[in-house]
Structure 1
Amino acid sequence: MTKQLFRVDWIMSAAIFGLLIFDLLIIRSIAPGLFLQQLTYVLIGIGLFFLFSRIDWRIYPKFSWFFYFGSLIFLGITLLFGTITRGAIRWIQIGSLTIQPSELVKPFLILFFAWFFSEGEELTVKKIFLGGLLLILPAFLIFTQPDLGSSLVVILIW
């Protein structure tokens, strides 16, 4: 029996790659100066796609609390050391790279709450309430940036 190199949904992958090609064509026609920068980001994204496709998804629950606390730390770093742009502190600058932590927090919270609500046998009112309490801090930290849109998305994730 041969080991599968990548565990990938090839139909979804083809759709994603099609959108990436379309994106690059649009960028090339609208802003040719940004094409190489966008191509670099696309290639980094493709590399990360293949890297994460090699990871067995069943290990993610083991890291659920890490995702949650990592999100809180990342948002706290943004408030302390973030770059102020148009009155908002939403970005962390690392060299020439700028990161918006609230965008990274969204998938982390999805993984955390998927684990949190699936853990145990039944979903109780107490568990739903506790989940809501765990949501308050990241939603508040995003709201203080201020980023109402991302705050609402985080609340809807719950």
Structure 2
Amino acid sequence: MGPGSRVLYLGAASGTTVSHVSDVVGPKGVVYAVEFSHRSGRDLLNVAKHRTNIVPIIEDARHPLKYRMLVGMVDTIFADVAQPDQSRIVAVNAEHYLKNGGHAVISIKASCIDSVAAPEVVFEKEVETLRKSQFTPREQVTLEPYERGHAMVVAQYRVQKKPK
């Protein structure tokens, strides 16, 4: 993710981290910021008023076709949705919007996915879901000691060509 990049940000919340991504992609890039909560969405709209490269979308990331008229192909999906089906949400959005060879950056909060299992087990399960969805994990970093049970995963998307 760099200047000029097109990013689909899932779980934009009030737009704080989205504003940082906006700075990284710069005026020639764009951040499609998807947030389901109307309360957080109001704050996101206020952030977007001052940043022309943020496109706020108040919608459920589980249903990417609902925002198909707003989002084109992207270089990166940044996901911070904190949902039990987070990897599936990323995969279904990738099918519609992530270019072949693009990347996903996923914030995994283990307790939001499985409050009983050890974080390492949750992380591995999420990475395996990504593998099954045509992603190749490139990097995984736990956020200890700053955040317990959190990890960031970077994965590359490769669509397999269908045999003729």
Tell me the TM-score range normalised by the shorter chain: 0.3 to 0.5
Higher normalized helix content (fraction of residues)? 1
Between Structure 1 and Structure 2, the one with more strand by share is: 2
Structure whose alpha-carbon radius of gyration is higher: 1
Structure 2-normalised TM-score? 0.33
